[in-house]
Amino acid sequence: MSEANGRQPLDGVTVLDLTQFESGTVCTETLAWLGAEVWKVERPGRGELGRRSLTEPDIDTYGFLIVNMNKKSITCNMKTPEGRELIRKLLPKADVIVENMGPGSIERLGFGYEDCRKINETIIFASIKGFSPDSPYAEYPAFDPIATHTGGFVAVTGFPDQPVKAGVSVADSGTGMACAMAIIAALYQKQTQGIGQRIDVSMQDYVIGLGRAGWEMYYNTGKPPRRVGNGMPLEDVAPSGTYPCRPGGPNDYVHVYCSRASNDQFHKLCRVIGREDLIDDPRMATPQSRFLVRDELDAIITEWTMRHTKTEAMEILAGADVPAGALLDISDFANDPAYTEQGIIVEVDHPVRGKVKMPGFAPRMSANHIEYRPSPALGENNGEIYGGILGLTGEQIAELKEKKVI
């Protein structure tokens, strides 16, 4: 039975969202999913840079839709005195302000932490940048691939002679969620101790933290972890690889790894693929000895996997207690109803794009149910917030719009 009581964890929390692209927008979307009222501030006319594309200038990009659900949009030209005054009037109404502008931009606008604190003493000011404020690279521009390269992620990804950048936004989305976690902790501290604070999260710092496991090898060998493709980076063992499956498409693969701690899983693998003879082969006696003949072993495993689809191979192997994972892609998630039923893939009805599937909030909370709402239209909530919150009249709002302030 559901324990939900109709309220969300962050009900009553208001967030002033000065973010764009992914890291900041993921942060504020996470807060919105948890019940915060998020006021997304966008430039008049075009909106945030991630909203429009060169190929479809008059319709929101899917990238914008995916990271701006459950928010409210207001427009404001913060480069004008009138626009900055609107933000100053909204600040006392907010609990949190989040920004991920280029280095120094928010300070030049007059809304750095100390500026905001003068207006709202207990404001929680969260800033996401490529590099931390005291880094020697603090003034450098950064996007996700810059952070994954400078954070050590790419150094261990790829093959010995070729590093390969991540194919997903590890730094962007990950840093955004880490920032949301810090904001929630700060909100608790504000509630219990009555204080606000500044939060700085850098994408490089977050990615460095993702590499914790590699430090074991560093201390054991004095050298950084190696790039080993689909192998096991901590030790040369086999089997550990990604094997092709039927019918041979670009993502028709399954990864198989048997524990380096014992031979139990390898023996189960041998039985599943009908090669019990390998159990008594002295060359296959240990994970380390198998590595020396890995090409022969990989060919044997491939001969079996090529007779099965990736999901069949996963189900058969994992069902026999052999660790195996199909190489799933976005089309697999979008077209498999199981992910929608689980709630990890959600479908929202966008007024222009129609029904759109996208990833939802991964954690499950027994006392909370998220109602996913589509991303807002540009300036959709100007009247509600400028009129209802700040008390501006319709004439005043119309005048600000005429002057291109909102």
- Tell me the C-alpha distance between 101 and 330, whole Å: 30
Q: Which fold has domain 240-244+253-326?
A: formyl-coa transferase, domain 3 (3.30.1540)
| Average per-residue pLDDT for the chain | 95
CATH 3.30.390.30 for domain 14-209+338-402: no
Query: What is the pLDDT, as a whole number, of residue 308?
Result: 98
Q: Which residues pair with 50 in a beta bridge?
A: none
Query: What is the pLDDT, as a whole number, of residue 1?
Result: 38
- Tell me the C-alpha distance between 351 and 208, whole Å: 40
Reported pTM: 0.94
Can the peptide bond before residue 57 be classed as cis, meaning omega within 30 degrees of 0? no
Average pLDDT over residues 142-154: 97
Q: Please say whether the beta carbons of 11 and 70 come within 8 A.
A: no
Nearest Cα residue to 304 out of 271, 353, 264, 258: 271
CB-based contacts of 132: which residues, under 8 Å, 6+ apart?
A: 138, 200, 202, 204, 205
Query: What is the pLDDT, as a whole number, of residue 3?
Result: 62
**Considering only 11-15, 56-60, 269-273, 301-305, which range has the smallest mean pLDDT?**
56-60
3-class DSSP assignment, residue 282: helix
The per-residue pLDDT for range 214-238, each reduced to its tens digit, is: 999 899 999 999 999 999 988 899 9
Question: What are the tokens at 180?
Answer: 């949301």
Question: What are the tokens at 143?
Answer: 């996007």
Amino acid at 5: N
- Percent of the chain scoring above 70 in pLDDT: 99
Residue with tokens 């931390």: 132
**Which residues are known catalytic residues?**
172
Name the residue ranges covered by the structural domains of the chain: 14-209+338-402, 240-244+253-326
Query: What is the pLDDT, as a whole number, of residue 233?
Result: 86
| CA dihedral sign, ordered 26, 32, 38, 40 | positive
Question: What are the tokens at 100?
Answer: 């991920």
The per-residue pLDDT for range 82-123, each reduced to its tens digit, is: 999 999 999 999 999 999 999 999 999 999 999 999 999 999
Confidence of residue 4 (pLDDT cuts 50, 70, 90): low
Report residue 25 CA to chain centroid gap. Answer: 10
